[in-house]
Amino acid sequence: MDKGGAPASETDFETFLKIDIRVGVIVAAEPFPEARKPAIKLRIDFGDPIGEKKSSAQITKYYQPDKLIGRQVLAVVNFPKRQIGPFMSEVLTLGVPDDDGEVVLLAPDHNVPIGGRLF
């Protein structure tokens, strides 16, 4: 896992606005043993009009599927779907690397209405 590296090139605010990052709540989570790297399959509810979407997340170091239910997370909801083994991932669940490069999920520090867009 990349720990960040050099900063990306400068962009403008209009380009940033094209990335639709929303808060959702995890409603289902299960191990994903077929993945090349250890992962968990998530189903995340973003409310109306987006609804529930699936995501594969390499978060097995710190998170157990049964403990993820009800947790709010941030995800990019407007990237194209991505086939990951036998699973179609519909959103990119966001995280940042710790000192060892393991994923730590991004989430609001207070419960907020699902579907809210990052700004």
pLDDT digits (tens, 9 = 90+) for 60-97: 999 999 999 999 999 999 999 999 999 999 999 999 99
- Res 2: pLDDT: 57
Supply the pTM of this predicted model. 0.93
Q: In whole numbers, what is the pLDDT of the chain averaged over residues?
A: 95
Give the pLDDT band (50/70/90) at residue 5.
Answer: confident
pLDDT score, position 63: 98
Q: Tell me the residue ranges of DSSP E strands in the chain.
A: 21-31, 40-45, 52-57, 72-76, 82-84, 87-89, 92-93, 95-97, 103-105
All structural domains of the chain: 21-105 (2.40.50.140)
* Half-sphere exposure in the Cβ direction for 84 (13 Å, CA): 24
How many degrees, rounded to 5, is the angle at CA 81 between CA 83 and CA 2?
A: 75
Asked if residue 1 has pLDDT above 90, the reply is no
Q: Write out the two tokens for 70.
A: 């009800």
